[in-house]
């Protein structure tokens, strides 16, 4: 099985004439189709809303596409709130879900009318210090502790996670917030990352729905929504089966009808905060082979590096690579595909079987649409690339220009020495 790029070699060469490699390219058609499929999968729930995780792809042009598709934003910092405001997101179209939160950011979220999701019990006192009154709607994040399993496979370890409250803390938090004027409550949890299984969301939903019934009875509060957060993953490897969002949505519906409806809670809205699932497959890092090296291994050096995509260097994460124009050629050469950083882990692939690569070949690194550009940095003085949007009509739009040395030096004030740097 082979992953298919969403652009042809001819199209990429055409783009590269105007926008030199490396660059991140996003597929508007794919983004819209995926957002539409998610909405349809949860259409059984009248209050459903997707709050796109801004941290995954913090670009206003991308956010405007998702806004057009009915999505809100999930923010975790001041600048993400600012970006949401600039894009025209207001009120309950914004979810502020943060941790170790600077008090002034709670204030900013409240001024925007965002739903504030508290990560910790002690944040109640923090919010009280910076807000004149508590908002009528608030949410709290839950952590069940222990290990999270699906079919006896350990998916993640919530007990080691810094996020969320215990059930006892969450129940007491709701009691206190109710006394302080909060009328509508939400429950949020994130128990596993990048799951490639249709079972995750329904199992998470069952845990949260049953919790919601217990908390409602114990604290006497109105549960307005349950936020299933993120965790639905994507198939980075070509032999992985993708999640079926319609099967997932139907699985959540069944649990909803089994747990919440009999408890008289059939009005609870379902929220999601997806980042990777929404954007991951619809972005790619396009880079060109510029060097080859033959020592103890065979190396292909490209003009991108971990500055442009750090997941492989940071996590050893797999990103599939297509050598454009050689999609049907045999993968009979073993390469490490590397960048130019002074770090030995600056590799996009290790011992990867690929077609023979010639200097000048374009490499299409798949699934960089989420947590790709956004995790970039400037080590070695490397500059971040442009972001481009392949629009539905086939035209290309620059949605973020490439950095220049002037951008890199902009925060210095050094005797005017650098004022003429381009």
Number of domains, the chain: 2
pLDDT tens per residue across span 198-222 = 999 999 999 999 999 999 999 999 9
pLDDT in tens, 29-50: 999 999 999 999 999 999 999 9
Q: Is residue 79 part of a domain?
A: yes
| CATH value at residue 346 | 2.40.37.10
User: Of 140, 331, 342, 415, which is the active-site residue?
Assistant: 342
Coil vs helix vs strand at 81: helix
CB 363 within 8 A of CB 286: yes
Do 47 and 125 reside in the same domain of the chain? yes
The CATH number covering residue 74 comes to 3.20.20.10
Tell me what pLDDT residue 325 has: 97
Same domain, 89 and 223: yes
Q: What's the average model confidence in pLDDT over 388-394?
A: 98
Q: Annotated catalytic, 140?
A: no
Q: Say yes or no: 162 and 120 in one domain.
A: yes
Please indicate, yes or no, if residue 59 is contained in any of the structural domains.
Answer: yes
Q: Tokens standing for 269?
A: 């809205």
The residue among 244, 279, 314 that closes a domain is 279
Q: Residues near 283 by Cβ (< 8 Å), separated by ≥ 6?
A: 24, 25, 26, 27, 57, 367, 368, 369, 370, 372, 373
Domain shared by 123 and 263, yes or no:
yes
Domain containing 372: what range? 281-409
pLDDT for 280-328, tens place per residue? 999 999 999 999 999 999 999 999 999 999 999 998 999 999 999 999 9
Please indicate, yes or no, whether residues 220 and 139 belong to a single structural domain of this protein. yes
Q: What is the mean pLDDT of residues 5-18?
A: 98
Burial class of 88 by CB neighbour count within 10 A (0 to 12, 13 to 18, 19+): exposed
End-to-end CA distance of the chain: 46
| Whole-number pLDDT of residue 410 | 85
Which residue, 280, 284, 309, 401, is CA-closest to 31? 280
The pLDDT value recorded for residue 192 is: 81
pTM of the predicted protein model: 0.94
pLDDT digits (tens, 9 = 90+) for 75-105: 999 999 999 999 999 999 999 999 999 999 9
Check whether residue 157 and residue 190 sit in a common domain.
Answer: yes
Q: Which residue has the tokens 């057009």?
A: 68
């Amino acid at each position: 099985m082979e992953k298919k790029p969403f652009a042809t070699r001819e199209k990429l060469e055409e783009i590269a004439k105007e926008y030199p490699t490396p660059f991140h390219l996003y597929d508007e058609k794919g983004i819209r189709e995926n957002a539409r499929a998610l909405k349809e999968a949860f259409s059984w729930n009248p209050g459903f809303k997707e709050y796109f995780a801004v941290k995954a792809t913090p670009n206003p042009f991308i956010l405007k596409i998702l806004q057009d598709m009915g999505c809100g934003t999930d923010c975790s910092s001041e600048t993400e709130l600012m970006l949401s405001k600039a894009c025209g997101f207001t009120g309950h179209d914004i979810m502020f879900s943060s941790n170790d939160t600077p008090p002034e950011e709670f204030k900013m979220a409240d001024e925007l009318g965002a739903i504030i999701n508290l990560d910790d019990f002690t944040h109640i006192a923090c919010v009280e210090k910076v807000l004149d009154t508590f908002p009528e709607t608030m949410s709290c994040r839950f952590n069940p502790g222990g290990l999270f399993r699906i079919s006896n496979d350990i998916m993640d370890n919530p007990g080691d996670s810094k996020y969320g409250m215990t059930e006892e803390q969450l129940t007491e938090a709701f009691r206190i917030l109710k006394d302080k004027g909060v009328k509508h409550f939400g429950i949020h949890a994130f128990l596993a990352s990048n799951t490639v299984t249709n079972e995750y969301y329904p199992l998470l939903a069952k845990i949260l729905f049953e919790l919601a019934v217990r908390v409602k009875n114990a604290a006497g509060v109105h549960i307005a929504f349950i936020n299933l957060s993120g965790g639905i993953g994507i198939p980075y490897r070509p032999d992985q089966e993708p999640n079926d969002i319609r099967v997932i949505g139907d699985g959540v519906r069944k649990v909803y009808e089994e747990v919440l409806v009999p408890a008289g809670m059939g009005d609870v809205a379902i929220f999601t905060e997806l980042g990777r699932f929404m954007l991951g497959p619809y972005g790619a890092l396009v880079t060109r082979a510029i060097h080859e090296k033959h020592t103890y291994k065979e190396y292909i050096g490209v003009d991108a590096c971990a500055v442009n995509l750090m997941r492989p260097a940071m996590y050893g994460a797999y990103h599939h690579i297509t050598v454009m124009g050689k999609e049907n050629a045999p993968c009979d050469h073993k390469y490490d595909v590397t960048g130019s950083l002074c770090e030995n882990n600056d590799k996009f692939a290790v011992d990867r079987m690929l077609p023979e690569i010639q200097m000048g070949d374009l490499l299409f690194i798949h699934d960089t649409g989420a947590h790709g550009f956004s995790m970039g940095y400037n080590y070695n003085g490397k500059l971040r690339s442009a972001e481009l949007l392949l629009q539905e009509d086939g035209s290309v739009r620059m949605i973020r220009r490439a950095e220049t040395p002037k951008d890199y030096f902009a925060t210095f004030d050094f005797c005017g020495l650098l004022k003429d740097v381009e």
